Amino acid sequence: MDVVLRPLTRADLDQVLALEPVLFGPGAWSRGTYLDELAAPGRVYVAAADGDRLVGYAGIALGEEAQVMTVGVAPGHRRRGIGTHLLAALLDAAREAGARSVLLEVRASDDGAQALYARAGFVPVGRRRNYYVAEREDAVVMRKQLRTGPGPVGSEAT
Ligand SMILES: CC(C)(COP(=O)(O)OP(=O)(O)OC[C@H]1O[C@@H](n2cnc3c(N)ncnc32)[C@H](O)[C@@H]1OP(=O)(O)O)[C@@H](O)C(=O)NCCC(=O)NCCS
């Protein structure tokens, strides 16, 4: 794979904003949302780049229970493991930051994305009604446990 993962930066935003409606339709984020996200503490955004071309990106909000904010791969670059690599980078960041678990929401109709997450160890734990307001579609909530036991990272039983 010639695609490399690196941090997503403001310089990528023109390409991100061109991909957003393609990937997320009416749920596409604005430049303002991305500027806020990239500046917010505890956020990790990763780019998948093929040379100068952005072919995917993903982001996570760190915390005790980390939250996947987005994962997207450009059409034409899918089913080559890029989504899996992006998700693995988010999980590494969450683990390093001491997260106990990772949560995400995914479209109830999106079997492909749910399969990607299931392969990474996420299990469905609930449903949010009409979470995708514009499309009136439910979200499936999926969760992956990273560690067990109380207390801060390092205190878990081995
Ligand atoms: C979901 C998405 C990120 C997957 O990216 P990708 O780079 O194609 O994913 P991978 O190549 O790593 O796929 C890994 C596995 O997930 C599953 N999978 C991924 N896309 C699938 C699809 N469309 N149909 C069925 N299974 C799929 C498969 O098991 C796949 O393994 P395989 O190719 O060996 O069968 C991409 O399709 C996308 O950007 N979709 C639009 C945005 C979106 O819905 N994002 C997720 C919600 S936040």
Distance (Å, rounded) from C-alpha 130 to C-alpha 139? 7
Q: How confident is the model at residue 148 (pLDDT cuts 50, 70, 90)?
A: confident
52 CB-near residues (< 8 Å, 6+ apart): none
Residue nearest to atom 9 of ligand 1 (CA): 83
Residue spans of the domains in the chain: they are 4-145
Question: How far does residue 19's CA lie from ligand 1's centre (Å)?
Answer: 16
Cβ–ligand 1 contact at 80 (below 6 Å): yes
Question: How far does residue 120's CA lie from ligand 1's centre (Å)?
Answer: 11
Give me the pLDDT at residue 157, please. Answer: 45
123 in the Ramachandran plot: left (φ > 0), alpha (ψ -120 to 50) or beta? beta
Give me the pLDDT at residue 154, please. Answer: 54
Q: Tell me which of 55, 78, 107, 135 to substitute to probe ligand 1's pocket, judged by most ligand atoms within 8 Å of the beta carbon.
A: 78
Distance (Å, rounded) from C-alpha 108 to C-alpha 67? 18
Q: Tell me which of 109, 116, 132, 140 to substitute to probe ligand 1's pocket, judged by most ligand atoms within 8 Å of the beta carbon.
A: 116
Question: How far does residue 119's CA lie from ligand 1's centre (Å)?
Answer: 10
| pLDDT tens digits for range 49-69 | 999 999 999 999 999 999 999
Give me the pLDDT at residue 134, please. Answer: 87
CATH topology classification for 4-145: Aminopeptidase (3.40.630)
Give the position, in ligand 1's atom list, of the atom nearest the Cα of 106.
47
Which amino acid makes up residue 17? L
| pLDDT tens digits for range 19-31 | 999 999 999 999 9
